[in-house]
Amino acid sequence: MKQLLGAFAALAAMIWIWAEYFREIPHLEQAGVVKNFQVEEQEDFSGEFRVLGKRYYGPPRTALYATSPWVGKFNDLAYVSSIDLLLGQGQLKNPYLAGKINFDQKGRCYQFTAESGAGLTDEAIRADSLSISAIAGSAQAAGQLRRLKAGQTVRIQGKYAAVKQRKSQQSFIVGMSIPRPRPSCSIVKVAAVQALN
């Protein structure tokens, strides 16, 4: 029995290490990504933010094997953007205030509820929170995104982006599948991330 428990503990540790350090994030230097997605840069995106949350995504498994970016269909945003960041600015850079807000992600965008006594209005929370579906502009940016932790203060530089699947010209939009569109949920091509603490 002890051997079985030890094997489960070792397996859990290996899965945690993989999830933390070796999860691959697609980037725009990969031939499979560039071949299948068209990323059009828009206005600048930059600033200092507190990372309130980070979530990984993968394409839905519709078959025994997941489709890879080298062969098959590419009809999911996760092939070009597999990580979402929930960022706080202004009042939400304060860890105490940010801890009073419960964020829940749905449709690659977020919803929130404020605890009583939070002292923030819904408008203030919307103004100071931002969810980005991050596209890594390079392998270096992908590594920087992977190493981010909740609670860090970071400087992010990049561009808002419009993404289309090359073959079908299907556009990808985040935040539209929940009750009302969220302008605070966007797709961003990340050029660089610098940890400030």
Q: What does the pLDDT read at residue 115?
A: 83
pLDDT of residue 60: 67
Among 44-58, 124-138, 176-190, the range scoring the smallest mean pLDDT is 176-190
Which class for 93: exposed (0-12), middle (13-18), buried (19 or more C-beta within 10 A)? Answer: middle
- Section 155-180 average pLDDT: 81
Q: What is the pLDDT of residue 116?
A: 80
119 torsion bin: left (phi>0), alpha (psi -120 to 50), beta (else)? left
| Confidence at residue 61, expressed as pLDDT on a 0 to 100 scale | 61
Residue 174 has a pLDDT of 82
Share of the chain above pLDDT 70, in %: 83
Residue among 17, 145, 147, 138 nearest 82 (CA): 145
- Across residues 138-166, what is the average pLDDT? 93
Map residue 161 onto helix, strand or coil. strand
Structure tokens that stand for 117 in this block: 């006594």
- Band of the pLDDT at 178, cuts 50, 70, 90? very low
In tens, the pLDDT along 98-119 reads 888 888 877 788 888 888 877 8
Q: Is 172 helix (H, G, I), strand (E, B) or coil?
A: strand
- What are the beta bridge partners of residue 88? 50, 129
- Amino acid at the residue 73: K
Query: Model confidence at 5, in pLDDT bands (50, 70, 90)?
Result: confident
pLDDT, tens digit, 9 for 90 and up, residues 53-75: 998 887 766 544 444 444 445 66
Cβ burial 154-181 (10 Å sphere, 16+ → b, else e): bebbbbebebebeeeeeebbbbeebeee
pTM, two decimal places? 0.80
Phi-psi region of 121 (alpha: psi -120 to 50; beta: other; left: phi over 0): beta
Average pLDDT, the chain: 83
pLDDT in tens, 6-27: 888 888 877 766 655 556 788 9
